[in-house]
Amino acid sequence: MNLKISCLGGAGEIGMNMYLYETPTSAVVVDCGVIFSDPQQYGVDSVLPDISYLYGIKDKLKAVLFTHGHEDHVGGAIKLLSEFNLPIFTGKFTAALLEHKSSKLNINIVEPRLYTFGDISVEFFPAQHSIPDTYGVVIVADGFSCLHLSDFSHADPELLTRKIDCLLLDSTNATTESRGYTEDDVKQELYKIFSERSGGRIFLTTFSSNVARLGSAIDAAVRVGRKVVPEGASMERILGQAMRMGLISVNGKDIVSPKKAYKMEPSELVYLVSGCQGEPLSALATIASGERKAIKMIEGDLLIFSSRLIPGSERNVNFLINSAMRRGVEVIQADDRLVHVSGHAGRGDLKAFIAAVAPKYFIPIHGEYRHLSAHRKLAIEAGVARESCLMLESGGQIQLWDEAVVYNEIPSGRVYIDGRGGYTLDESAVTMRKQIAKDGVVVVRLLPDGEIALETYGFTLTDKQERDVMLEIINRDIDFAPLNEQLARVVKRYFKKQLSRRPYIAVSD
């Protein structure tokens, strides 16, 4: 037996999940996701794993398996598949989301059977999560079996058709106690909240892909006699998709268009709005801030955040809540009432699952290092031998070679996508953007008469500072023709030493 498990992203960090299972002759990729950019990333829209390692094993690559349709698992699919023409194997709902991204993909919708890719065989293992059609994958090579169960809230070990030797498991909530609530509890609570309201509109926001939650909200709305209005492109699209696929059973008459809703009484309406992380251009942000002409939040309305706050979104969400409250809107969040349950299993559930599967090896995945570390401890408590709990981080590879475990490193990292213009940036371009944003730009211009002129962007030098930097240049006695890096270096040194700044320096004639 010789199986290599590589992590190209998603362990030791949040997002960008991508794994590779590889024998001497075959390899399959599991997931290829993105990290969403935070406002500090200077125009970067998303961050993808560096897939250069795959070029070295190109001939072995057989397929890409997607566990579910969240962007931290499928967001890098198009880039990956534009570079490697591989067939996709995934669930029906994930397939629909991928088809929306591109119609050119070769997608196989999985059934409960065994798939063979060279000397690797794969079986899909159904799991529950906050998006329909979520799977774990059982990957078998030379009789050795791995269960790769990324995001899940619940899964039934009884459904496994074979003994699992190595378990790779979702660590997201490895530091959070299981609360024991289910989606049904949320459905009841939403009904209670809706029935407590007599007037005003109800706005509920969640991830559009959380189809079960949309179903709960629709159920509660129908029970209190309100109509449902989807707001936001992704909300409309995914709700329509889920209804066509029979994932939500609702009478078409209970869903009304925003245009029709405009003529109805506020007390007759529940809006399902996209933008639960306060994304500035989302439907929710534009409605809450009053930018939308046709629909504005007003006193008496209720806004429910039926979602968790992703770290990094706090500022946007708080800004939005402040705008809504300023308009007299009541806001309910997950801390106030039971309006959200996590899509990830908590400590108690994780421990029970590990104990039931009783694997020889355990590898925590999907989380920051603190989550992986807590998860490792849980696995030991659940009966896995300490030395068989293996730690894998992005850029790491674990080779299971007969009875030996070998740790290797593989080329890895991040690539940055700036969507406007379709640019792919490397680390140095992002660093340059940060430098320019923080410290500005200095252009050193050599004039035809041999004089030097300085132009600064983003800040202005005092007369004295300008004189000083000129003196510095003259004193260094630089040969100006041809223009050289030396000049830039002198100017750079001046700014660093005298002004503690590191502007981007360009030399030009």
Name the segment binding Zn ion (CB under 5 A); options: 67-75, 216-224, 238-246, 309-317: 67-75
Rounded Cα–Cα distance for residues 140 and 120 (Å): 6
Of 185, 247, 191, which Cα lies nearest the Cα of 215?
247
**Burial label, 93 (beta-carbon count in 10 A; 0-12, 13-18, 19+):** buried
Does residue number 133 form part of the binding site for Zn ion (CB under 5 A)? no
Count of residues binding Zn ion (CB under 5 A)? 3
Report in angstroms how near the CB of residue 153 gets to Zn ion at its nearest: 10
Residue 375 touching Zn ion (CB under 5 A): no
The smaller minimum CB distance to Zn ion, of residues 151 and 418, is found at 151
**In the complex, least distance from residue 23 CB atom to Zn ion, rounded to whole angstroms:** 26
Q: How far is the CB of 106 from Zn ion (least distance, A)?
A: 23
Task: Please identify, using beta-carbon distances, which residue of 70 and 376 lies nearer to Zn ion.
Answer: 70
Pick from 213, 205, 209: which is nearest to 321 by CA? 205
Toward Zn ion, which CB reaches closer, 31 or 189? Answer: 31
Cβ 375 to Zn ion shortest distance, Å: 14
- Which tokens sit at 173? 């909530």
The CB-of-171 to Zn ion minimum distance in angstroms stands at 11
Task: Yes or no: say if 43 and 418 are a contact pair by the CB < 8 Å rule.
Answer: yes
CB of 68 to Zn ion, least distance (A): 6
Shortest distance, position 209 Cβ to Zn ion, whole Å:
9
Cα 408 from Cα 389, distance rounded (Å): 16
- State the Cα torsion 303-309-314-317 to the nearest 10°: -20
Cα–Cα nearest to 89, from 125, 127, 115: 115
130/286 with CB nearer Zn ion:
130
Residue 509 half-sphere exposure toward CB, CA atoms < 13 A? 11
What is the helix (H) or strand (E) element at residue 318, kind and residue range?
A: helix 314-326
Given the complex with Zn ion, which of 72 and 219 has the nearer CB atom? 72
Closest contact distance (angstroms) between CB of 132 and Zn ion is 11
CB-based contact 475:492 (threshold 8 Å): no
Contact range with Zn ion by CB under 5 A, out of 117-125, 143-151, 159-167, 425-433? 143-151
DSSP at 38: P
Nearer to Zn ion, 127 or 164 (CB): 127
Q: Which is nearer to Zn ion, 67 or 216 (CB)?
A: 67
Coil, helix or strand for 490?
A: helix
72 binds Zn ion (CB under 5 A): yes
Nearer to Zn ion, 151 or 301 (CB): 151
**Which of 70, 197, 201, 226 touches Zn ion by CB under 5 A?**
70
Least distance in angstroms from the C-beta of 285 to Zn ion: 23
Q: Interface with Zn ion by CB under 5 A: which range of 18-26, 68-76, 406-414, 421-429?
A: 68-76
Q: Applying CB under 5 A, which part among 71-79, 91-99, 234-242, 251-259 lies near Zn ion? A: 71-79
> Of 69-77, 232-240, 424-432, 434-442, which segment contacts Zn ion by CB under 5 A?
69-77
d(CA 392, CA 123): 23
Instruction: Pick between residue 202 and residue 341 the one whose CB is nearest to Zn ion.
Output: 341
HSE-up of residue 286 (Cα within 13 Å, Cβ side)? 12
Please choose, from the candidates 506, 488, 508, the residue with its C-alpha nearest in 3D space to the C-alpha of residue 436. Answer: 506
Work out whether the CA dihedral 244, 248, 252, 258 comes out positive or negative.
negative
**Choice between 144 and 207, CB closer to Zn ion:** 207
The single residue among 50, 151, 231, 301 that binds Zn ion, judged by CB under 5 A, is 151
Residue partners of 227: CB distance under 8 A and separation at least 6: 221, 254, 255, 256, 261, 264, 268, 269, 270
Site residues, Zn ion (CB under 5 A): 70, 72, 151
